[in-house]
Structures are given as C-alpha cells and as structure tokens.
Chains A and B, each alone.
Chain A
Amino acid sequence: MSLNSVGYWFREAGRSLWRNSWMAIASVSTVTIALFVLAVFVVVSANVNHVTTLLQNQVEMRVFVKPRTTRPEEMALLKQVKTWPDVRKVDFFTKAQAAQNLRQEFPHEQALFRLIAKSNPLFDGYDVFATNPNDIPALAQRFDHSPIVNNVVYQGTVVRRLTRLGIILRWTGWVVEGLLGVATLLIIVNTIRLAVFARRREIQVMRLVGATDWFIRWPFILEGLTIGLLGAVVADAAVSLGYHWVVVRASVSLPFWPMAGFNSVFTQTSVFTIAGGLVMGGLASIIALRRFLKV
C-alpha cells in the first residue's frame, strides 16, 4: 500500500459522494438526526448525573422547621433528637445561617441576596446524620410527627429517584438509538450499494488488472466513514450551540439550578457523536460491501 493508493482512495470516495450527492445528503441527514438525538440524551444524562453527584456530597437529611416557631421549641426538639440512638450527629441552623451559606455557594448573586436580606424566605432547620443510612426513612417519619416540623428532605429519596431516572434515561436512550441506528444503517448501506453499482465497470476492470480486494474496498469504506463523520459534526455543532445557549440563559434566569459545565458536556457529546458516526458509517460500508461487492 503506497501513498499513491491512499490519495487515489480519497479522490475516488470524494468523486463518488459528489456524483451521488443527493443520496449522500440524505444519508448525512439521517446520521445527523440519529446523532442529534444521541447527543440530547448525553446532555440530559450528564445533567442528571451532575445533580446526583452534587446531592450525594451534601448532607444526609435536612429537617425544616415551620415558620414562626420559637427558638425554645426548636431547642427542645434538638435536645430530644440528640438522645435518639439512631442519630449520629445533629446540627441546628437558623435561617440567617442558611442565607449565609447560600451566599457563599453563589458568590455571583450578591445583588439578589441584598434584595432578600430584609425578608429572608428560608427556614430554620437541622442537619441530621443517621448512624445507619437504612434508618433514614424511619427517622424522617419520626421527625414528621413532630408538630413544629414543616418538612423533611433527605437525599436518600432524591438521589435514589435521580439514579433511577438516570438509568431509565440511559435505557430509553439505548433503545431509541438502536432503532434510529438501524434505520440510519439501512440508508447508508443503500448509498454504498448505489456507489458500488455506479462503479461496477471500474470494479470489473480493477479486478482484471490485478487490484487487491482491499484496494477496491477502501474508497467505499472511506465514503461510509465520511458520511458518518459529516453527520456527527453537524449534530454535535447543533447540540453544542443549543446547550451553550441554554447554559447562558439558565445562569441568568435559574441561577440556583446546577447545570453541568459546558466544556465537559461538549467533550462528552463530541466523543459520542463522532464515535457513533464513524461506527455507523464504517459498519454500513462493511455490510454493503459484503452483500453487494463480491470479491
């Protein structure tokens, strides 16, 4: 295999795509749609994972106290809770402290905090750590019976739900992608089949003068890979631009919502779309050649 041959393969692949440009556009479009959906799933999954990880690193259970509860009432509950054997540790916080914590977590939103400083909308509450994570639901129920408790949030439920959502998303993603992948594959296979058919005279002459099988196959494989790659680039660009737009808007209108960072999401969508495009394109070429190019 010489460099001359490589040049020849690329020229032939390009010539074939150009000659069959309508079919090539159709194939690239279906690849784009399939990979666009894949990239959207990647973006949503990345965000669900992001939130899950954040929550896992936070406190185990948070108990919020009803507004207009007096401090002595709160202290009584605190004292009582400290005697419970299934509680490893409990910390009381006031709504002022909660506001302070938020201020540290979101240093860019000082204007907003100044605005709400007068009428703090947050609650007093307790951070509770269980001795055994399995006791958390029972513990939460016990807190709920207390007349001063407004609500109990424990990441156990949230994390479990988010993890389950993540799994469902991943499976839905694979099933939808599988179906789209098959449809896309069929269209690329057909494109390559047409390319083989259009060049059957060339192929016959190539065989007779002693071209190797792989020499004959490469232009078609390159053609399939090019279709896959073009579709991947278009899909990745569309999803990345879209996500960038959402991240910028979200930082203004939903400043408390933790979005997965653009760069890490962009890396993930690029890897998935480009790998997906190349695999689909390459696989389709190989299927088409096995079926329609008898060497």
Chain B
Amino acid sequence: MIRVEGVTKRYPNGHHGLVKVSLTVHRGEFVFLVGPSGAGKSTLIRMLYGEDQPSEGEVMIDQFRLRRMTMRQLPRLRRQLGIVFQDVKLLPTRTVFQNVAFAMEVVGASHKEITKRVPQVLELVGLARRRDHYPSQLSGGEQQRVGIARALVNQPTYVLADEPTGNLDPDNASEIMKLFHEINRRGATVLMATHARDLVNQMKRRVVAIEAGQVVRDEARGAYGYES
C-alpha cells in the first residue's frame, strides 16, 4: 500500500510544489495522476521513489517510511518499484537484451536467472525479435517498451510511470497503455502521471487530479476532466 499523508513540498525559492497532499493507493489498483504541467505530478512520483524529500508530511510504501529512510534502505525500496520515464533512459551502447539484463545484473542476479527471465519480459512487451538491436535502431514506441521491460524484469510490486506516452504518437501511446493494463492485470499496482486525455477516458480507472500542488478530485472510475 502507498500512503501519502499531508505532504507539502517547498522549494528554497518559496515556490510550493505540493500543498498538504494525501493519497492512498491499495495493492492491485491502477491510478492515473492528471493535471496541468507544473501541477506537481512529477514531484509526487519522484517522492515515491525517494528522489525527492517532502518538507512536511509522511510518505509510506509498505513497510518503508520514506522520511526516515537511510541511504542503505533506499535500494531495498527501489527493488520493489519499477520506474518508467518519459525519456526512457536506455543505455545507448547496450542492446535491448543487455539493457533489460543490466537491471538484473546490478541487483546481483545470476547469469542463469537473467537468461531465463529477460526473454520472458521481452516476450511480454512484444520485443522478443528485437533483442539484439540497439536503442537507436528502434522507434520511440519500441524504446518505451524496452523501458517498461526493464522496469518489470525484477518483478516489482509497484510500477511508477511519469508521462510514459509523452513522446509518442496516439497509436503507439494506445499500445503502451494496453501494456500497462496487462501489467496491472497480472498483479502489479500501477501509478501513472499522464497528459493522455483520450486514453484516460477510455480506461475508466481511478483518476486523481492535481492542480497547483493540491488534490482537487479523486474518482474511482473517472475521466480526465479537463477540456483540452
């Protein structure tokens, strides 16, 4: 379970990123985080994986209390998380297979586990035949699939996605959204910040709207709710 309680984020210049935000996400849920640019969606997601600290309030993910977390505990939290970025963050000098395998290598997985698990995930995201290609040889949609495969390969409990379809055309975006739906169906909790209005409306999932750093709406089977 993800629990955000009364979280405020103040920046040194006095600007408020978030103001007393509270939010609970249960295991197995699929939650969209919507709102205008600069509303605080990304700040909230960054706090969930410990890249940003709240000025006030508490963030909890399962047994981890992020404000009291030591540097030693952070890696343990992150192994429970799969993180997907708008800019994907693939390693250009490694192939699709190596990019995904890298995430397993650096948490100490064996060669045997890697050769078993990576093809499974590549199959899931539909890139089994592209395994020896380099990122530069892939389309934007395919690159994002590699990013998703890398996030999933260590079997995270929670998948956090920050604008995963932000750089994609509508067709590719729709495919990526279906992939997240499938991931959620297989048991992972998904929290996604997005601008993709049509897709949010189609999915009919929980929608949390943030404006000027505050939660303004939280609907169980919601719609994007902003005109344009």
B107 touches A209 (CB 8 A): yes
- Which of A2, A207, A210 is B154 in contact with, Cβ under 8 Å? A210
For A11, give the chain B residue with the smallest CB separation. Answer: B105
A4 touches B110 (CB 8 A): yes
Given contacts A4-B111, A205-B89, contact A211 B71 (CB under 8 A): no
For B49, give the chain A residue with the smallest CB separation. Answer: A208
Q: Does B76 contact A (CB under 8 A)?
A: yes
- Which of A1, A8, A201, A295 is B89 in contact with, Cβ under 8 Å? A201
Chain B residues near A202 (CB, 8 Å)?
91, 102
Q: Does A204 contact B (CB under 8 A)?
A: yes
The contact string, 1 if C-beta is below 8 Å from chain B, for chain A 199-223, is 0011011111111110110000000
CB proximity of A294 to chain B, nearest CB, Å: 11
> CA A216 – CA B110 in complex, angstroms?
17
- Which of A4, A212, A295 is B105 in contact with, Cβ under 8 Å? A4
Spell out B's residues near A (CB within 8 Å). 49, 71-72, 74-79, 81, 83, 89, 91-92, 102-103, 105-111, 150, 154
Given contacts A201-B89, A202-B91, contact A2 B108 (CB under 8 A): yes
Chain A: interface secondary structure? helix
Among B79, B81, B102, B105, chain A packs the most CB atoms within 10 A around the CB of B105
CB proximity of B188 to chain A, nearest CB, Å: 15
- Which of B76, B81, B106 is A206 in contact with, Cβ under 8 Å? B106
Chain A contributes a number of interface residues (CB within 8 A of B) equal to 20
Among A209, A212, A295, chain B packs the most CB atoms within 10 A around the CB of A209
> CA A215 – CA B102 in complex, angstroms?
13
B75 touches A211 (CB 8 A): yes
Apart from A4-B108, A213-B71, A215-B106, list 14 A-B contacts with CB within 8 A.
A4-B105, A5-B108, A201-B89, A201-B91, A202-B91, A205-B89, A206-B106, A207-B78, A208-B83, A209-B150, A210-B77, A211-B107, A213-B72, A215-B108
Chain B residues near A295 (CB, 8 Å)?
71
B76 touches A210 (CB 8 A): yes
B109 touches A212 (CB 8 A): no
> CA A5 – CA B108 in complex, angstroms?
5
B108 touches A1 (CB 8 A): yes
The contact string, 1 if C-beta is below 8 Å from chain B, for chain A 215-247, is 110000000000000000000000000000000
CB proximity of B211 to chain A, nearest CB, Å: 28
Given contacts A4-B111, A295-B71, contact A211 B106 (CB under 8 A): yes
For B71, give the chain A residue with the smallest CB separation. Answer: A213
Chain A residues near B91 (CB, 8 Å)?
201-202, 205
CB proximity of B157 to chain A, nearest CB, Å: 12
Chain B residues near A213 (CB, 8 Å)?
71-72, 75
> CA A204 – CA B106 in complex, angstroms?
12
Given contacts A202-B91, A209-B78, contact A2 B110 (CB under 8 A): yes
A209 touches B154 (CB 8 A): yes
> CA A2 – CA B106 in complex, angstroms?
11
CB proximity of A37 to chain B, nearest CB, Å: 39
Q: Could you list 8 examples of A-B contacts with CB < 8 Å?
A: A2-B108, A205-B150, A208-B89, A209-B78, A210-B75, A210-B78, A210-B81, A212-B72
Chain B residues near A211 (CB, 8 Å)?
75, 106-107
CB proximity of A235 to chain B, nearest CB, Å: 34
> CA A156 – CA B89 in complex, angstroms?
75
- Which of A2, A204, A209 is B103 in contact with, Cβ under 8 Å? A209
Given contacts A211-B75, A295-B71, contact A205 B102 (CB under 8 A): yes
Among B72, B102, B108, B109, chain A packs the most CB atoms within 10 A around the CB of B108
> CA A209 – CA B76 in complex, angstroms?
9
> CA A209 – CA B71 in complex, angstroms?
14
Among A201, A216, A295, chain B packs the most CB atoms within 10 A around the CB of A201
Chain A residues near B71 (CB, 8 Å)?
213, 295
Given contacts A210-B76, A210-B78, A211-B75, contact A205 B103 (CB under 8 A): yes
CB proximity of B21 to chain A, nearest CB, Å: 23
A210 touches B79 (CB 8 A): yes
> CA A272 – CA B58 in complex, angstroms?
54
